[in-house]
Amino acid sequence: MKKQPIGIFDSGLGGLTILNALHRTLPREDLIYFGDTANVPYGSKSKEAVTKFSLAIARFLEKQGVKLIVVACNTASAQALGKLRKEISVPVMGVIEPGAQKAIESTLNRRIAVLGTEGTVKSNAYPKAILKRDHKIRIVQQACPLFVPLVEEHWGKKPATQLIARDYLNRVKKSGADTVILGCTHYPILKTVISDILGRGVTLVDSADTLAQAAHDFLIEQGKFQTKGKGRVRIYASDDPARFKRLAGYLLEEKIGKVHLKKLDL
């Protein structure tokens, strides 16, 4: 069981931020990443569609013999996690709970803002997770649907991204929130832009490291923690693996080999 890989999936490139964190925290673990580039973005799709895609990916990862599946995608975590845990035999870990806990620990004025896709915001997954732990915290949510395509097109430093981000973040600034959850794996790639607009007094919560630590603790608890060797990374994309590899080079801390094409069995 210790030698089995960990599976990670996201709607596209954004989950590579979590892959990085997992590789840093668990350097001896083999990792299999699946980016559903054929269906990105998930945030504007129905719950039924997101669940269908998530189940197809999870079943593929299950067939690869993984010992844990990490749902890096916030939208999939918000909308499909319950179904995945019912239908997949492998333990499944989402990104919402670790992010919510980190935000609660970070806020000083008990005002938290959530930036997310339309699907994540509509699900109210973050407010539910936060209020379950502390019902007195005030929460504002802001959907940022254009952030994902901007990241996927590597437009993070374009002037247009600054303008769009200022428009999205205006309500967040007015809310007085001192802690902002980056509720999509793509958003940390725009961390500099977001931080410049909100100011240094606002803490940005990127749940990647928190999730990686949760995975670490789970594996130790289950007796599945790998203590020998050097972990390898294998990457799959559901469409255009050459483009995925090119853009992944901007996000990954280490060079990757071949990106394998795997169409989803829907």
Establish whether 144 is a catalytic residue: no
- Cα separation values, 147 from 156, 195, 230, 253, Å: 9, 15, 34, 22
* Burial class of residue 201, CB neighbours in 10 A (0-12, 13-18, 19+): exposed
Handedness of CA 129, 131, 132, 134 (dihedral sign): positive
- Rounded Cα gap, residues 103 and 138, in angstroms: 12
Query: Nearest 10 degrees: CA dihedral of 172, 175, 179, 183?
Result: -40
For the stretch 228-232, contacts whose Cβ atoms lie closer than 8 Å and that sit 24 or more positions apart, written own/partner, are: 228/28, 229/28, 230/27, 230/28, 231/23, 231/26, 231/27, 231/28, 231/29, 231/30, 231/31, 232/30, 232/31
Establish whether 73 is a catalytic residue: yes
- Rounded Cα gap, residues 252 and 44, in angstroms: 26
Q: Phi and psi of 92, rounded to 5°? A: -125, 130
Residue of 73, 81, 96, 130 marked active site = 73
Q: In what order do the strands lie in the sheet with 111-116?
A: 138-143, 111-116, 179-183, 203-205
Picking from 158, 126, 146, the residue whose alpha carbon sits closest to that of residue 43 is 146
Residue of 81, 92, 164, 184 marked active site = 184
Three-state DSSP at 112 gives strand
Residues acting as catalytic residues:
73, 184
